[in-house]
Structure 1
Amino acid sequence: MSDLDLWPRIEAAIYDTKVGRADAEWQWPRCHKKNCQCQSDIDFVFGMFTKAIADSVYKELLCKAVTDPDGLP
């Protein structure tokens, strides 16, 4: 089994990843006015998405290791 045989499972895990709106919404900017004093941390929100995707891929790889232990190196 080549490493690319896992790609469909990994791709599905990536596209099935969800981040709760309530978890991220409080970090979005509240307005777009010039010199707005609203504080927001968009990098934190993108970090949430990155971590959620990484967790999904990791869980999928763990699942593959359990269901087909001989198929992994």
Structure 2
Amino acid sequence: MIGCVGTLIVATRGADGPGEVILSVRGTREAFLARSDEPLPKGTNVLVVGVRGARTVIVEPWTEMVTTELFS
């Protein structure tokens, strides 16, 4: 599960409590509790960086990198 990217459907509150994230697992979409160091708003794309138990993941904000090659 580490390395998966998902979207928060419930905001995280940092140390004050978890949110909820939708992840694609074995071809199906599943909801997991999501914990983060800082509060993250609903709709944030996140990267799973850790797992805590069977249904809780540790997440960080994720911005997909776009690369552009310049040819002259």
TM-score (norm 2): 0.24
More strand by share: 2
Question: Which structure has the larger Rg?
Answer: 1
Determine which structure has the larger helix proportion and give its number: 1
TM (norm. structure 1) is 0.24
